Amino acid sequence: MGTGLQALALAAALAGALLVPGRLAAVEARELPRIAEVAEDFARNCQGCHRADGTGACRTVPRIRDFVGLFTRIPEGRDYLLRVPGVVWAMLDDARLARVLNWMLASYSPEQIAPGFTPFTSEEVRRARERPIANVLEVRSALIAELQRQGLLAPGDDGLVSAGCG
Protein backbone atom coordinates (compact mmCIF):
# COMPACT_ATOMS: atom_id res chain seq x y z
CA MET A 1 0.00 0.00 0.00
CA GLY A 2 1.45 3.42 -0.93
CA THR A 3 2.36 5.99 1.72
CA GLY A 4 -0.66 8.13 0.83
CA LEU A 5 -3.02 5.18 1.18
CA GLN A 6 -1.43 4.18 4.47
CA ALA A 7 -1.91 7.69 5.82
CA LEU A 8 -5.52 7.72 4.63
CA ALA A 9 -6.20 4.33 6.24
CA LEU A 10 -4.63 5.48 9.50
CA ALA A 11 -6.66 8.70 9.45
CA ALA A 12 -9.84 6.71 8.85
CA ALA A 13 -9.01 4.33 11.70
CA LEU A 14 -8.31 7.21 14.05
CA ALA A 15 -11.49 9.01 13.00
CA GLY A 16 -13.52 5.86 13.60
CA ALA A 17 -11.86 5.37 16.96
CA LEU A 18 -12.77 8.90 17.99
CA LEU A 19 -16.43 8.38 17.10
CA VAL A 20 -16.86 5.24 19.17
CA PRO A 21 -16.15 5.59 22.92
CA GLY A 22 -13.32 3.33 24.04
CA ARG A 23 -12.17 2.51 20.49
CA LEU A 24 -9.10 4.80 20.55
CA ALA A 25 -7.31 2.28 22.75
CA ALA A 26 -7.82 -0.27 19.97
CA VAL A 27 -5.55 1.68 17.61
CA GLU A 28 -2.20 0.13 18.37
CA ALA A 29 0.85 2.34 18.90
CA ARG A 30 2.83 0.25 16.42
CA GLU A 31 0.66 1.61 13.62
CA LEU A 32 2.11 5.08 14.18
CA PRO A 33 5.70 5.57 13.03
CA ARG A 34 7.94 6.87 15.79
CA ILE A 35 11.14 8.82 15.36
CA ALA A 36 13.37 10.14 18.08
CA GLU A 37 16.51 12.10 18.80
CA VAL A 38 18.69 12.92 15.78
CA ALA A 39 16.19 11.51 13.26
CA GLU A 40 13.51 13.71 14.80
CA ASP A 41 15.79 16.75 14.56
CA PHE A 42 16.33 15.96 10.88
CA ALA A 43 12.60 15.48 10.34
CA ARG A 44 11.72 18.77 12.00
CA ASN A 45 14.50 20.87 10.47
CA CYS A 46 15.56 19.34 7.14
CA GLN A 47 13.09 16.95 5.59
CA GLY A 48 10.52 19.62 4.83
CA CYS A 49 12.76 20.66 1.93
CA HIS A 50 15.03 17.65 1.38
CA ARG A 51 12.19 15.14 1.95
CA ALA A 52 12.19 12.11 4.20
CA ASP A 53 13.77 9.99 1.48
CA GLY A 54 16.48 12.58 0.73
CA THR A 55 15.43 13.18 -2.89
CA GLY A 56 14.99 16.96 -2.58
CA ALA A 57 12.60 18.92 -4.77
CA CYS A 58 12.82 19.05 -8.55
CA ARG A 59 15.23 21.78 -9.68
CA THR A 60 14.95 23.72 -6.41
CA VAL A 61 16.22 21.72 -3.41
CA PRO A 62 19.26 19.46 -3.81
CA ARG A 63 18.96 15.78 -3.14
CA ILE A 64 21.05 14.46 -0.29
CA ARG A 65 20.55 10.74 -0.97
CA ASP A 66 23.63 9.26 -2.67
CA PHE A 67 24.96 12.78 -3.17
CA VAL A 68 25.73 14.94 -0.14
CA GLY A 69 28.72 12.83 0.89
CA LEU A 70 30.52 13.90 -2.28
CA PHE A 71 31.10 17.30 -0.72
CA THR A 72 33.33 15.64 1.91
CA ARG A 73 35.72 14.65 -0.87
CA ILE A 74 36.86 18.19 -1.59
CA PRO A 75 38.26 20.58 1.06
CA GLU A 76 35.83 23.40 0.30
CA GLY A 77 32.92 20.97 0.46
CA ARG A 78 33.17 20.46 4.20
CA ASP A 79 33.02 24.22 4.74
CA TYR A 80 30.06 24.47 2.36
CA LEU A 81 28.03 21.85 4.23
CA LEU A 82 28.56 23.73 7.48
CA ARG A 83 27.71 27.18 6.09
CA VAL A 84 24.69 26.73 3.80
CA PRO A 85 21.69 28.76 4.98
CA GLY A 86 19.57 25.78 6.04
CA VAL A 87 22.36 24.63 8.33
CA VAL A 88 23.52 27.90 9.85
CA TRP A 89 19.96 29.03 10.59
CA ALA A 90 18.65 25.67 11.85
CA MET A 91 16.86 25.98 15.18
CA LEU A 92 19.16 23.48 16.88
CA ASP A 93 22.04 24.03 19.25
CA ASP A 94 25.53 23.42 17.86
CA ALA A 95 25.92 19.91 19.30
CA ARG A 96 22.55 18.72 18.00
CA LEU A 97 23.24 20.25 14.60
CA ALA A 98 26.62 18.51 14.37
CA ARG A 99 24.86 15.22 15.17
CA VAL A 100 22.25 15.87 12.45
CA LEU A 101 24.94 16.61 9.84
CA ASN A 102 26.87 13.46 10.73
CA TRP A 103 23.68 11.36 10.82
CA MET A 104 22.53 12.77 7.47
CA LEU A 105 25.82 11.83 5.79
CA ALA A 106 25.85 8.34 7.32
CA SER A 107 22.16 7.71 6.61
CA TYR A 108 21.74 9.18 3.15
CA SER A 109 25.15 9.11 1.49
CA PRO A 110 27.52 6.66 3.20
CA GLU A 111 29.07 5.39 -0.04
CA GLN A 112 30.06 8.91 -1.10
CA ILE A 113 31.75 10.00 2.16
CA ALA A 114 35.48 10.58 1.80
CA PRO A 115 37.74 7.91 3.29
CA GLY A 116 39.03 9.14 6.63
CA PHE A 117 36.24 11.70 6.99
CA THR A 118 36.27 13.31 10.43
CA PRO A 119 32.78 13.86 11.85
CA PHE A 120 31.58 17.42 12.34
CA THR A 121 31.97 18.84 15.85
CA SER A 122 29.84 21.31 17.78
CA GLU A 123 32.75 23.76 17.86
CA GLU A 124 33.10 23.56 14.09
CA VAL A 125 29.35 24.23 13.72
CA ARG A 126 29.59 27.19 16.11
CA ARG A 127 32.39 28.80 14.10
CA ALA A 128 30.64 28.18 10.77
CA ARG A 129 27.44 29.82 11.99
CA GLU A 130 29.37 33.05 12.43
CA ARG A 131 29.99 33.26 8.67
CA PRO A 132 27.07 31.95 6.59
CA ILE A 133 27.54 31.72 2.82
CA ALA A 134 26.04 34.81 1.20
CA ASN A 135 26.41 33.66 -2.42
CA VAL A 136 25.36 30.03 -1.96
CA LEU A 137 24.46 29.37 -5.60
CA GLU A 138 27.82 30.63 -6.83
CA VAL A 139 29.75 28.62 -4.23
CA ARG A 140 27.70 25.49 -4.89
CA SER A 141 28.16 25.82 -8.65
CA ALA A 142 31.96 26.00 -8.23
CA LEU A 143 31.93 22.93 -5.97
CA ILE A 144 29.79 20.96 -8.43
CA ALA A 145 32.19 21.90 -11.25
CA GLU A 146 35.13 20.68 -9.14
CA LEU A 147 33.38 17.38 -8.34
CA GLN A 148 32.73 16.92 -12.05
CA ARG A 149 36.30 17.89 -12.96
CA GLN A 150 37.61 15.24 -10.57
CA GLY A 151 35.26 12.62 -12.05
CA LEU A 152 33.37 12.26 -8.79
CA LEU A 153 30.13 13.51 -10.31
CA ALA A 154 28.77 12.85 -13.79
CA PRO A 155 28.60 15.77 -16.21
CA GLY A 156 25.17 17.33 -16.09
CA ASP A 157 24.42 16.05 -12.58
CA ASP A 158 24.20 18.91 -10.13
CA GLY A 159 21.96 17.28 -7.55
CA LEU A 160 19.13 19.56 -8.60
CA VAL A 161 18.08 18.62 -12.11
CA SER A 162 17.03 15.10 -11.20
CA ALA A 163 16.11 15.80 -7.59
CA GLY A 164 12.53 14.67 -7.12
CA CYS A 165 11.72 15.11 -10.83
CA GLY A 166 10.51 11.65 -11.59
Domain interval for residue 6:
1-34
What does the pLDDT look like over 108-141, one tens digit per residue?
999 999 999 999 999 999 999 999 999 999 999 9
110 and 128 share a domain?
A: yes
% pLDDT > 90, the chain? 52
If asked whether residues 58 and 71 sit together in one domain, one would say yes
pLDDT of residue 89: 92
Tell me, what DSSP letter sits at residue 109? -
pLDDT the model gives residue 84: 92
Compare 21 and 154 and report the one with higher pLDDT.
154
User: How many angstroms separate the first and last alpha carbons of the chain?
Assistant: 20
Query: Which has more confidence, 42 or 96?
Result: 96
Residue 27 DSSP class = S
Is 157 part of a structural domain of the chain?
no
pLDDT given at position 54:
83
What is the pTM for the complete model shown?
0.74
57 vs 147 pLDDT, higher one: 147
Compute and round to an integer the Cα radius of gyration of the chain: 19
For residues 86 and 72, which has the higher predicted lDDT (pLDDT)? 72
String of b and e for 10-28 (b: at least 16 CB within 10 Å)? eeebeeeeeeeeeeeeeee
Residue 16 pLDDT > 60, yes or no? no
Q: Is residue 20 part of a domain?
A: yes
Residue 109 lies in a domain: yes
- CATH number, domain of 110, equals 1.10.760.10
Task: Count structural domains, the chain.
Answer: 2
> Is the pLDDT score of 1 beyond 90?
no
Burial class (CB in 10 A: 0-12, 13-18, 19+), 55: buried
Is residue 130 assigned to a domain? yes
Residues 159-163, mean pLDDT to the nearest whole number: 71
